[in-house]
Amino acid sequence: MINTGEVIVNNDVIKDEAVQVHENNNVVLKNKKLIARKSRYLMVHKPLDTVCSNIDESHPSVFNYISLNNVSDFHIAGRLDADTTGLVLITDDGRWSFNIISPNKRCEKIYRVSLRDDITDDVVSRFNNGIQLQGEKLLTLPAKLEILSRKEVLLTITEGRYHQVKRMFAAVGNRVHRLHREEIGGIRLNIDLGQWRYLTEDEIALF
């Protein structure tokens, strides 16, 4: 229909399907104005041994838990490893997710971390001062560590480097046993494992 000139954008016939259109453009097909549907914003409580991918890979995709049409339109705003559980945000709004994943936005993510060994008191200040990760030149940005017990902590970071949480604890001689994301930028996980829900207007407005 585009190639035959049936689509009009801002009163011009457009025959190039690569042309981008935006929500403020006037798009007409066969004399009928097209209205873009609203973007969708979801949270999912990711189970263990699932992958943050639109398709099944070595483990099943987290999208298998979402009962919506056109799931392929979605993308994940901040992935989790297969062996990590917790909060995953999913949307089809790229500008919204950019505010979550862009390093410049310094979006806080809170993880509950279970450790192999007892945590030492000096790790709090070391994380706050930045950690030298193996194979990287720059220190991590300051991270907040709250000790819940000798082997369980809450960690708040504002970056998303490759396997960052696991590598941070490895750098101080410990090992992550279990990892669970509880919060992203003020959006708290509050649904059961394997469930999903739409975000509220207040949650969407955080980004």
What are the structure tokens assigned to 168, written together? 């941070």
Average pLDDT over residues 136-163: 95
**What pLDDT score does 36 carry?**
83
Architecture of domain 108-184: 2-Layer Sandwich (3.30)
- Residue 131: burial class (beta carbons within 10 Å; 0-12, 13-18, 19+): buried
Told to judge if 122 belongs to the known catalytic residues of this protein, a careful annotator would answer: no
Fold designation for 1-36? 3.10.290
**What pLDDT score does 22 carry?**
85
Statement: residue 188 has pLDDT above 90? yes
Q: Which of 51-55, 77-81, 91-95 has the lowest mean pLDDT?
A: 51-55
Q: Where are the domains of the chain?
A: 1-36, 38-105+188-207, 108-184
Q: Mean pLDDT, the chain, as a whole number?
A: 94
| Per-residue model confidence as pLDDT tens digits over 24-62 | 899 999 899 998 888 999 999 999 999 998 888 889 999
Residues 6+ apart with CB under 8 A from 126: 172
What band does 185 get if pLDDT is binned at 50, 70 and 90? Answer: very high
Per DSSP (E only), the strands in 140-203 are 144-149, 152-157, 176-184, 187-188, 196-198
32-33 sheet: strands from edge to edge: 12-13, 7-9, 27-29, 32-33
Which of the pair, 55 or 177, is modelled with greater confidence?
A: 177
Statement: residue 74 has pLDDT above 90? yes
Residue in 102, 81, 74 with CA at minimum distance from that of residue 159: 102
**What pLDDT score does 82 carry?**
95
**What pLDDT score does 58 carry?**
84
Q: Which position among 12, 73, 81, 192 bears the catalytic label? A: 81
Q: What's the one-letter identity of residue 141?
A: L
- Give CATH for domain 38-105+188-207: 3.30.70.580
Phi, psi (deg, nearest 5) at residue 18? -85, -10
Q: CA Rg, the chain, in Å? A: 21
Secondary structure (3-state) at 194: coil
**What pLDDT score does 198 carry?**
97
| Per-residue model confidence as pLDDT tens digits over 4-19 | 999 999 999 999 999 9
What are the structure tokens assigned to 123, written together? 């790790």
Fold matches, 38-105+188-207 and 108-184? yes
